[in-house]
Structure 1
């Protein structure tokens, strides 16, 4: 065990630690902190019944105090508070705790403070999960020991005792995690920045500022990777501290990875390009996945060879819920793209196909405008099936578009996802493609996009 990690666990014995949110990212950590002698209180807005009696009994058997339901944030008595990423950082309860000398942090911040190995972190509005996974897979292919976490994989702080100096921690970070971080990874990747989560952030500037924390605290020997086809991400170049790599599918870059006019992916260092592979050899479909590969190449260069990069490109079949082929039935292909929780992600998904689709869209309202989606819907969709709380807003945006033609784009309404699948099945003919690519979060009907995608797959597989 690294000496800093050992010292931390020795120091927390008898310390009052309050963990807010009993979810995936905290359950193991709650037990681990109690195991090392901390006086742990776990708080959650859900009731005992909602959390489950077995889970609550297990925690209490370990000496962990539970504060559940209404008032779970009242009169917190702790020296250290770990907030769940989904909670707004700027709120009175945390301000008061900080004024009283309480350390307010998070599982991910704590991990970055103590991690003994090289860290690679990925953020962005779209593409971060696939890019994070690609980086991890390439490093594994190159023979590296990799720990993947953050928004994907397992929470990393409970594993920190087993992480070695020569390992790699590859982490996906959301704006909710980054907003309070004051330590940046060794290698920071920003895929792109487009409007997102404006239902949680007070404005777009707060969202952008949160994303920038992934590189603002780097040192001279760090690396920042920027997707320069995105205007906001490209604008960060003058603020980076160490080595800067760029990636582009539109033009060559001096240092970084780019797609040439000949369809070849190049890696250039100081203006000296070398061929990596032809983009057509990438197994994952779509230009957005070429971008994801370019980002991953920039992140791993110097730690993995070209052979490892090539092997993953031709073999890796993708991450669940990301343009995932569910089944082909009666000549109709059904795809699950539930990860598409923003209009830009849906646009990227539509561009992965050469024909017009039947699209199922709509869901929870994150206060993101849908007007930019309308032209792509007219271009790439022949039947649009809308459901969820945003159905009206999407339909209004489409019909307000100057190029809208009702004879070219049929719009149908579904009461829920099962109804949408039935409507799509009734519209589809041999050779058609149906895709669930909602352009919205799932919270109006499902706890997360994974649950929505899983239900969609079950519905599609159940079609007779």
Structure 2
């Protein structure tokens, strides 16, 4: 019996509970709380009409609602408030509610407190979804019963009654989820850190501090996996409560996961164990080598080396991450809609040997675009731009060419719709070309999320004749 869970169920029945956000991730939470006979009020800034589909799933349940622009005005008097990821915990309405006695939490915070199984969690600016998926695949291939959650998979609090102590739980955690967490997983992985989400975080330092919560509450015997090649994450080892383990593509580590003669190896001083030849990894790109190294460092004590090798040589990748959509008349179309920052686009473009046709642009989230200049000059033959960041991306390229005085002639085309950008990309391509959607920007100007953006792109590509 999970005594912590049983106590939670007993205590929450007497509480007045608010759930902020009626999106996909919170609907299972609302249903779970209702099944526990909790007094639940759901809050959302959208109108009732715009939430018709979500509300349909809650039809007939005894849930109260608050909609519209002032939806947070009625938070006084609640005992427990579930904050949705992406909502700052210091909003005036939340601060006032806490000052009046409310406890502010989230679905993920409660799950971490109550979970009876060992938790592996991954965060980082880039690569966290693939690394999380790899850890899940590796542990599953070894025979463990695994649960995948956080930013991907199913919201797990609604499934917690089914989680057993012998299971493994693998989570992808964003900076938004980590901002207020006070309990760290047993095995924590930070893939890398670069400026990101500065449209929500007040500063880069706040973003970094949020990421650090993934390990700051660990205990002796826990593990922290860090990227030695990243200037920010390298020094986190000094603050580790448990064992800090590095992975590195470039350094000759005494201990950790490293590269040697194109082989990923585990090193423990003089002892070396070969895991996989990087040329046998199916998913392309240097960044995916790093993702495998991080996943190997997290799982090596729990699996046989051949299990990691088997996953590396069979796993074809995660949707929306340099995903081959189709080949038409000798032209390959790739969907990498997940690339919502310049660093992700740089990593994606670096996987291609020849120059590509790049589709980029979207919502501006306040991060630097200057680093895109060089990769566009080096790796792009035609640049098709859309959205608010289009002029910033073009400016980054033009400034780089002007400052370096290099001979670069990238054709730049501005578009207004995705139908236009896909059609024009196809018209510009010749047999042997690769066309890749790698926006370097968020999707929220035109789409609900990067998945919808990628699916629209794939649908349009599959219509081409």
**Which TM-score band (shorter chain)?**
over 0.9
Q: Where in structure 2 are the equivalents of 1:259-408 lying within 5 Å?
A: 259-260=259-260, 262-401=261-400, 402-403=403-404, 407-408=408-409
Equivalence for 2:415: 414
Do the aligned partners of 1:229 and 1:248 also contact (CA within 8 Å) in 2? yes
Equivalence for 2:225: 225
Equivalence for 1:156: 156
Mapped partners of 2:404, 2:427: distance in 1: 27
Do the aligned partners of 2:377 and 2:408 also contact (CA within 8 Å) in 1? no
Equivalence for 2:78: 78
- 1:148–1:404: structure 2 CA closer, same or farther, 3 Å change rule? farther
CA deviations 1:22-62 (Å, max 9, x no partner) are: 1122101101111111101111111111111x643553522
Do the aligned partners of 1:60 and 1:66 also contact (CA within 8 Å) in 2? no
- 1:404–1:68: structure 2 CA closer, same or farther, 3 Å change rule? farther
Secondary structure, counterpart of 1:280 in structure 2: helix
Displacement of 1:122: 0.2
Equivalence for 1:444: 445
- 1:15–1:347: structure 2 CA closer, same or farther, 3 Å change rule? same
Secondary structure, counterpart of 1:275 in structure 2: strand
Mapped partners of 2:139, 2:24: distance in 1: 25
- Single out whichever of 250-259 and 120-129 deviates more from structure 2: 250-259
Displacement of 1:416: 2.0
Equivalence for 1:454: 455
Do the aligned partners of 2:276 and 2:312 also contact (CA within 8 Å) in 1? no
CA deviations 1:255-313 (Å, max 9, x no partner) are: 221111x1011111245221112111111111100000000001111111111111100
Secondary structure, counterpart of 1:339 in structure 2: coil
Equivalence for 1:135: 135
Displacement of 1:245: 0.9
Mapped partners of 2:32, 2:290: distance in 1: 39
Mapped partners of 1:47, 1:246: distance in 2: 48
Mapped partners of 1:414, 1:200: distance in 2: 28
Do the aligned partners of 1:382 and 1:409 also contact (CA within 8 Å) in 2? yes
| Correspondence 1:120 to 2:120 | yes
Secondary structure, counterpart of 1:132 in structure 2: helix
Displacement of 1:404: 6.2
What is the RMSD of the two structures over their aligned residues, measured on CA atoms?
1.2
Mapped partners of 1:271, 1:18: distance in 2: 55
Secondary structure, counterpart of 1:49 in structure 2: coil
| Correspondence 1:463 to 2:464 | yes
- 1:326–1:55: structure 2 CA closer, same or farther, 3 Å change rule? closer
CA deviations 1:54-105 (Å, max 9, x no partner) are: 6435535221111111221112131000010121122211211221121000
Do the aligned partners of 2:22 and 2:54 also contact (CA within 8 Å) in 1? no
- Single out whichever of 62-71 and 164-173 deviates more from structure 2: 62-71
Equivalence for 1:213: 213
Do the aligned partners of 1:253 and 1:271 also contact (CA within 8 Å) in 2? no
Secondary structure, counterpart of 2:113 in structure 1: helix
Mapped partners of 1:435, 1:429: distance in 2: 14
**Can you give the 5+ residue segments of structure 2 that lack an aligned partner in the other structure?**
none
- Single out whichever of 407-416 and 307-316 deviates more from structure 2: 407-416
- 1:114–1:391: structure 2 CA closer, same or farther, 3 Å change rule? same
Secondary structure, counterpart of 1:41 in structure 2: strand
Equivalence for 2:239: 239
Mapped partners of 1:319, 1:162: distance in 2: 26
Secondary structure, counterpart of 2:265 in structure 1: strand
- 1:273–1:61: structure 2 CA closer, same or farther, 3 Å change rule? same
Q: Where in structure 2 are the equivalents of 1:84-99 lying within 5 Å?
A: 84-99=84-99
Mapped partners of 2:22, 2:404: distance in 1: 48
Displacement of 1:376: 0.9
Do the aligned partners of 2:27 and 2:54 also contact (CA within 8 Å) in 1? no
TM-score (norm 2): 0.97
**Can you give the 5+ residue segments of structure 1 that lack an aligned partner in the other structure?**
none
- 1:60–1:451: structure 2 CA closer, same or farther, 3 Å change rule? closer
- Single out whichever of 339-348 and 6-15 deviates more from structure 2: 6-15
Displacement of 1:408: 2.5
Displacement of 1:252: 2.3
Displacement of 1:204: 0.6
Do the aligned partners of 1:334 and 1:460 also contact (CA within 8 Å) in 2? yes
Do the aligned partners of 1:83 and 1:105 also contact (CA within 8 Å) in 2? yes
Do the aligned partners of 1:259 and 1:265 also contact (CA within 8 Å) in 2? yes
TM-score (norm 1): 0.97
Equivalence for 2:435: 434
Do the aligned partners of 1:14 and 1:37 also contact (CA within 8 Å) in 2? no
| Correspondence 1:110 to 2:120 | no
Mapped partners of 2:355, 2:58: distance in 1: 52
